């Protein structure tokens, strides 16, 4: 699942996981793609590029296809499974990456866990 992220860099994975998590969190208010896109642009302005928005939408489309239901119809348990898969991808990529910014990635993952209630 999420093969389109197989070669994504660590920052992109973290950003995609964050935005997909945000969409799950807000799934009832922003059920359609246009509303999600507008929300991302409004919330993050120029820092959200078109490629990131498209990647987030592709991940959401894959989740909806895999689940056979729109994001707004998924249970919290289903949301947790998909978010855990993204979290595992981020963690795996982090463990492969050596560098000065790994502490920043760990901090961002912890923030993601706190905001979306994922267990460590």
Alpha carbon distance 85, 69 (integer Å): 18
> Residue with structure tokens 């509303």?
35
How many structural domains are present in the chain?
1
pTM of the model: 0.63
> Residue with structure tokens 């997909």?
20
Query: Residue 4: pLDDT band by 50, 70, 90 thresholds?
Result: confident
pLDDT in tens, 15-25: 888 878 877 77
Residue 46 confidence (pLDDT) above 70? no
Question: Mean pLDDT in the chain?
Answer: 76
Alpha carbon distance 84, 72 (integer Å): 18
pLDDT in tens, 50-78: 788 788 889 989 999 999 998 888 888 88
Residue 109 confidence (pLDDT) above 90? no
Domain that holds residue 55: 3-116
């Amino acid at each position: 699942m999420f093969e389109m992220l197989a070669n994504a860099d660590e920052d992109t994975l973290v950003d995609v996981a964050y935005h997909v998590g945000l969409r799950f969190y807000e799934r009832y208010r922003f059920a359609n793609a246009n509303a999600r896109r507008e929300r991302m642009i409004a919330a993050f302005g120029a820092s959200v590029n078109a490629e990131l928005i498209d990647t987030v939408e592709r991940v959401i489309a894959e989740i909806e296809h895999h689940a056979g239901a729109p994001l707004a119809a998924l249970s919290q348990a289903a949301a947790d499974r998909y978010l855990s898969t993204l979290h595992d991808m981020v963690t795996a990529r982090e463990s492969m990456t050596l560098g000065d910014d790994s502490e920043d990635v760990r901090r961002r993952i912890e923030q993601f866990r706190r905001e979306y209630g994922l267990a460590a």
